Structure 1
Amino acid sequence: MSKILLILHVLAAVIAVGPVTVAGSMFPSAVRRAAAAPDRPEPVAAVRLLHQICRVYALVGLAVPVFGFATASSMHVLGSPWLIVSIVLTGVAALVLALLVLPAQEIAIAGLSGSGADTETAATRLEPAQIRRLAMLTGAFNLLWATVTILMIVRPGSTTGA
């Protein structure tokens, strides 16, 4: 049963977290392109699509810790320090995504869309500092997940020799 749970955990991580990290990383540059071409709808549509990918796969990503806890429980490693650190980092990554990245993406979309204002005014509402902050937050999210992935593979103190 542990192997099946581990397979489900890894598949959930690859299928859910991968798209969030890629789409999230692409988002800041897509916002810059959209702000540079306020008269074209395609770049704004791309930004909205990237945000939708991040939102949907963030929800799908909830399966990762669910299968992770089930796997760790079946392997009797819930008290292992590497796992506890991974759980904490996963929680921090989830908070960064839910409380910082996704809301910042929504603000950027609102800045691009405007609220009835002309497109030039809407584009100028997006400060370069906001886009840089969003890129930094997305990078932090990605770094947290990379660290968790490394901990899952190396597992300090593991008897597998990895």
Structure 2
Amino acid sequence: MDYPQINIKLLSEEDRELVKQAKQRAEELRLTFKEFVLNCIKQALVEESPDDADNATAAEIEALKAQIAALEEKVNIPSATKTEVNTLQERLNQLRVGISNEIKKDREQLASLTLAISRLESQIEQLIPSLNLQVDGEGDADSDSDWIFGEGSAAELPLT
């Protein structure tokens, strides 16, 4: 691949002095001479020509300024101090720990309730053969009179 190369012969003392000053300035900017020269070329190419300035009207410039202001308002993010951010992070961590603890308690309570229901179901299954249960076909399904207890009463059932 061919890389472009610039070879310039500087014959006058004034040109040599200009190169010397450019090298010195590049060192001050901590750039290589090549980087410095390329930056100078870029800047020269970016500079506006007089024709371009005439094309932009004051109204267009004002319209662009208004658009920029509107965009700045949309992206305006309130700033916070480091202390405020740390406080928010600490509060967030406290909430996370609190929620985890509540979930743990709920799981423990749910496990406890599941075990209690399982025990009750087991005791009810053991009691069913010893009871003489009859279903009353008439009446409200939600009423207590649907179940008629034979030999014992509900108050006598051991529920532990």
TM-score relative to the length of structure 1: 0.26
Of structures 1 and 2, the one with the larger relative CO (CA 8 A, separation 6+) is 1
